[in-house]
Amino acid sequence: MENLSAKHNLEGDYCNSLTRYSRFLTREVNIGDIALGGHNPIRIQSMTTTDTMNTLATVEQTIRMVESGCAYVRITAPSIKEAENLANIKKELRSRGYSVPLIADIHFTPNAAEMAARIVEKVRINPGNYADKKKFENIEYTQAAYDAELDRIYKKFIPLVKICKEYGTAMRIGTNHGSLSDRIMSHYGDTPRGMVESAMEFIRMCEDQNYYNLVISMKASNTQVMVQAYRLLVETMTKEGMNYPLHLGVTEAGDGEDGRIKSAVGIGTLLEDGLGDTIRVSLTEDPEFEAPVAKALADRYVQRSLKLAVESLKPPAKIQTLQAEAPTYSPYEYSRRITEPVQHIGGHHHPVVMVNVSKENLKDPYFLNTVGYSYSAGLDKYNMADQACDLVYLGDNLPSFSFPGNLKQVYNYKTWLGLQDKNNCHPLLSFDEFSKAEVKDEFLNFVQIDAVQADSLRADHVDETVVLVLETSAVHGMALQRSFFVALQQKNIQIPVIVKRSYENLDADKLMLYAATDLGALFTDGFGDGIWIDAPKQHLALINSTSFGILQATRTRISKTEYISCPSCGRTLFDLQETTQLIRSRTDHLKGIKIGIMGCIVNGPGEMADADYGYVGTGPDKITLYRGKEVVKKNVTTAYALDELIDIIKDDGNWVEKA
Ligand code: SF4
């Protein structure tokens, strides 16, 4: 397997710039009369959840999706009869005045793809299962066997390419982390490189036929894998002189706040670096709820170049040079920045969560419920939840009650100086205050620094009691904060850093999405020992849960059960939303357990690669239960399936009773 641990030359490897916002220019691809890539806007799309044979329901859902902002609509075509029915759906849509380009979603069935390619504007194929073998066996392929298999696939795939050429139909080569073929797995393993090669083989076959109407995706439910795979794809395509447009998505992101945060972490991280031409946010919700989320993510970048042109804060030139000359981290492989811990912050400790409580009623301990500490007046004690924040910032305001013993309080320096009892209380100082301070905390000092100050920071400016609070108000702030981390690495300054972003006047949804993008992108690359989202006008509970949600989505701190639930589609064998809620209601206290909930097993047990347990539709009223990729119980009647799943978790010793 290829060694990716070597640090790469970062500037321009997978994006135009790591410091300036610059959209990566891709080839323009025509999909019906809505072009994708090139200088076109980032297009939004989604997928229907209706039975494709139900023409009316599919048409009506498609219209709702268009009204909610979808530029394209994807419809599943599991067999030739559904592929044929796409003609009726298209006809009905056109007769109602909707010219939305349609995309057929294909798995395993070349004949359905060949039919659909004559009807709709684009087909999506999965290279892991389009004519490739997927027996879920551990097969060793010799180079000769590997090449013979590729040759066999070529012969099966080329008829579709020829039809697409003839009809002007576009194609998405959509790789899924969970459905790599045995052949790819044998050579590359279950890795981002395997995902990239899986797509590259099909791209090369298309190019061999002079067919270039391609869009590429690299989806995974694990955001780190997904981000690394897209970056590697661009790097690989660039080396081979290709620039196909990118369809971005985190697959099986789940629902509600979790689904939104996870999607924003994966998709937003790539958008920040100028990657992405179309977005599909996959939520276990009705598809018309997906487009507004995708639009909120994409809209930030519409004006970003313009805003940057007039923004006076620019990354210091020296940071850019340093970064280009001596990169310190790999964007293709997760590795946490090495730090010396200060009082459980940094080192191997999970990232901490800090919230601003200075505007709360500091006479009332009950407000701490919202940040994970429920106060019992009778017992005069606090109970700590799994998502209990670690630090609270009080500014200059003093509480009139005792805080939980394990919750550190942070005060502005001058106020801290005046405190009678400094136990568990620590100062927040500006960089300037710290350098001049005669009295400092013996153990822990928080020093605020703006990301533009990277150049002026030297190792002898700080000591072993310092945790930096890294802020930015720059428009392209994530990149500036990332540059700061790179500068710290280059100067070998190993002090922990809490990453802070402040947001004014954002509604709850935007706060979640923007914070998950800005901060999630840093944690995805191993930067950050703590998170501080400052949004004075938003509820503390939302800020706290968003902070923990970002850490969970980046896999840097696990504080709850994770649901890897598919968005559902025309293949779905049960009500995904209802079932997900039901499973959640009985298992949401199982911190750290990942449960996959899939409407069908289209991609095989590989879909369970990222889950500890799986609940998968296998037929009408039939559920198959998994432990990892292993089938534990087949075809359980739906009414008993959740109880059986819980029994499996209990047998494994992973069950705890709800408090
Ligand atoms: S896993 Fe879900 S979204 Fe994927 S094909 Fe099956 S039902 Fe459709």
For the CA of 598, the nearest atom of ligand 1: 1
Query: Residue 6 contacts by C-beta under 8 Å, 6 or more apart in sequence?
Result: 330
Q: What is the pLDDT of residue 309?
A: 59
For the CA of 616, the nearest atom of ligand 1: 1
> Cβ < 6 Å from ligand 1: which residues?
566-569, 571-572, 598-600, 602
Cα 196 to ligand 1 centroid, rounded to whole Å? 22
DSSP string, 599-634: S--TTGGGGGGG-SEEEEEEETTEEEEEETTEEEEE
Nearest-angstrom CA–CA distance, 486 and 248: 26
Q: What is the pLDDT of residue 629?
A: 87
Closest to 247 measured CA to CA, from 314, 180, 172: 172
Strand 373-376 to 562-565 pairing: unpaired
Nearest-angstrom CA–CA distance, 429 and 37: 47
Q: Tell me 655's DSSP state.
A: -
Nearest-angstrom CA–CA distance, 63 and 60: 5
For the CA of 567, the nearest atom of ligand 1: 3
For the CA of 47, the nearest atom of ligand 1: 3
530 in Cβ contact with 354 (< 8 Å): yes
Query: Residue 480 contacts by C-beta under 8 Å, 6 or more apart in sequence?
Result: 19, 313, 315, 451, 452, 472, 474
62 in Cβ contact with 45 (< 8 Å): no
Nearest-angstrom CA–CA distance, 179 and 133: 11
Cα 604 to ligand 1 centroid, rounded to whole Å? 11
Residue with the two structure tokens 């590697």: 232
3-class SS string, 191-250: CHHHHHHHHHHHHHHHHHCCCCCEEEEEEECCHHHHHHHHHHHHHHHHHCCCCCCEEECE
Cα 247 to ligand 1 centroid, rounded to whole Å? 18
552 in Cβ contact with 520 (< 8 Å): no
Nearest-angstrom CA–CA distance, 349 and 269: 24
DSSP string, 52-113: TT-HHHHHHHHHHHHHTT-SEEEEE--SHHHHHHHHHHHHHHHHTT----EEEE-SS-HHHH
119 in Cβ contact with 83 (< 8 Å): yes
627 in Cβ contact with 612 (< 8 Å): yes
For the CA of 570, the nearest atom of ligand 1: 8
Atom 6 of ligand 1, residue of closest alpha carbon: 600
Helix axes 508-524, 290-299, angle to 10 degrees: 60
For 313-366, write each residue's pLDDT tens digit: 444 444 443 444 456 889 999 999 999 999 999 999 999 999 999 999 999 999
Helix (H) or strand (E) holding 261: helix 256-263
Cα 249 to ligand 1 centroid, rounded to whole Å? 15
Mutate to test the pocket of ligand 1, among 124, 571, 597 (most ligand atoms within 8 A of CB): 571
- Report which residue type is found at 239: K
- C-alpha distance from residue 265 to each of 10, 281, 374, 517 (Å): 21, 11, 30, 5
Atom 3 of ligand 1, residue of closest alpha carbon: 568
187 in Cβ contact with 197 (< 8 Å): yes
* Rg for the chain, CA atoms, rounded: 26
Cα 598 to ligand 1 centroid, rounded to whole Å? 6
Within 10 Å of residue 70's Cβ, how many Cβ atoms? 25
Mutate to test the pocket of ligand 1, among 290, 598, 601 (most ligand atoms within 8 A of CB): 598
Closest to 452 measured CA to CA, from 269, 270, 312, 324: 312
Long-range contacts of 443-447 (CB under 8 A, 24+ apart): 443/342, 443/343, 444/342, 444/343, 444/345, 444/408, 446/410, 446/498
Q: What is the pLDDT of residue 637?
A: 96
For the CA of 105, the nearest atom of ligand 1: 5
- C-alpha distance from residue 150 to each of 133, 147, 160 (Å): 10, 5, 16
Cα 614 to ligand 1 centroid, rounded to whole Å? 13
For the CA of 599, the nearest atom of ligand 1: 7
Q: What is the pLDDT of residue 321?
A: 39
Nearest-angstrom CA–CA distance, 404 and 365: 10
Closest to 276 measured CA to CA, from 321, 225, 207, 215: 215
597 in Cβ contact with 579 (< 8 Å): yes
3-class SS string, 265-323: HHHHHHHHCCCCCEECCCCCCCHHHHHHHHHHHHHCCCCHHHHHHHCCCCCCHHHHHHH
CB contact burial 620-659 (16+ within 10 A = b; e otherwise): eebbbbbbeeeebbeebebeebbebbbebbeeeeeeeeee
Nearest-angstrom CA–CA distance, 642 and 281: 27
Cα 227 to ligand 1 centroid, rounded to whole Å? 22
- The burial of 192, by beta-carbon neighbours within 10 Å (0-12 exposed, 13-18 middle, 19 or more buried), is given as buried
Cα 598 to its chain centre, rounded Å, is 19
Give the residues of the chain that fall short of pLDDT 70.
Answer: 1-12, 132-139, 306, 308-327, 603-604
For the CA of 573, the nearest atom of ligand 1: 7
DSSP string, 486-499: HHHHHTT----EEE
Mutate to test the pocket of ligand 1, among 51, 124, 600 (most ligand atoms within 8 A of CB): 600
> Coil, strand, or helix at residue 526?
coil
- Max Cα distance, the chain (Å): 81
Cα 568 to ligand 1 centroid, rounded to whole Å? 5
Nearest-angstrom CA–CA distance, 122 and 213: 9
Cα 178 to ligand 1 centroid, rounded to whole Å? 12
Cα 630 to ligand 1 centroid, rounded to whole Å? 19
Q: What is the pLDDT of residue 204?
A: 97
- The burial of 162, by beta-carbon neighbours within 10 Å (0-12 exposed, 13-18 middle, 19 or more buried), is given as middle
- C-alpha distance from residue 624 to each of 542, 572, 646, 649 (Å): 35, 14, 13, 14
Closest to 82 measured CA to CA, from 56, 59, 60, 105: 105
Q: What is the pLDDT of residue 48?
A: 97
Cα 600 to ligand 1 centroid, rounded to whole Å? 5
